[in-house]
Amino acid sequence: MGPRSRIGHGTVAVHLDEIQLEDFAGIGRLNWITGFPSDTGSVHFSHIEGRVSRLRMGPHSAITNRHLIDCTCEVEVGAFATVAGFRSQLLSHSIDLEKNRQNASPIRIGERCFVGTGCIVLAGAKLPAYSVLGAGAVLNKAFTESYMLYAGQPAKPVKQLDSSHLYFIRETGSVK
């Protein structure tokens, strides 16, 4: 944990290889953060070379309250990014029906992103830097275009965002 980082009351983190919180990163109250450690010797996920069960949060990033974060594969929340609202789910693993086995892929939330309330982010998804994921959206793939509002089920680009929005250029993680 970096200086001035914090984890709120009632947050539970179990079965992870690692949690990294850089300077001023924060996890709010009543979150459930779980994973599947890489050193168990289990056949589950053994086919994924280099898999690490880790939550990595950049400086001034935040996960607010009452979210579910599955870090079976790495989940990264970039600098100044916010997983906001309540009850979002970041799910880095699921069942591969074709191969009849558990599978996992990293999730990447880019720097200065905003994830609205009640979102679902699935394995392998990427929200590019300076982007917004609208409330209730399902992000199921990796996008590349920054300064974009992604919304819907499944999420798709719906509106270009102005790079001068103060959220994207603020100097501290807190929003007043």
Per-residue pLDDT tens over the stretch 19-64: 999 999 999 999 999 999 999 989 999 999 999 999 999 999 999 9
CATH domain 6-158 topology: UDP N-Acetylglucosamine Acyltransferase; domain 1 (2.160.10)
Strand, helix or coil for residue 2:
coil
75-77/107-109 β-pairing: parallel
Per-residue pLDDT tens over the stretch 33-42: 999 999 998 9
Which DSSP symbol is given to 9?
T
pLDDT mean across residues, the chain:
97
Q: Alpha-carbon distance 133 to 143, whole Å?
A: 11
The answer, yes or no, to whether residue 174 has pLDDT greater than 90, is no
Looking at residue 111, its pLDDT comes to 98
In one letter, which amino acid is 147?
Y
DSSP-assigned letters across all residues of 83-135? E-SS--EEE-EEEETTTTEEEE--EEE-TT-EE-TT-EEETT-EE-SS-EE-T
Q: Alpha-carbon distance 23 to 35, whole Å?
A: 23
Per-residue pLDDT tens over the stretch 95-123: 999 999 999 999 999 999 999 999 999 99
- 1 in Cβ contact with 22 (< 8 Å): no
What are the residue ranges spanned by the domains of the chain? 6-158
156-160/148-151 β-pairing: antiparallel
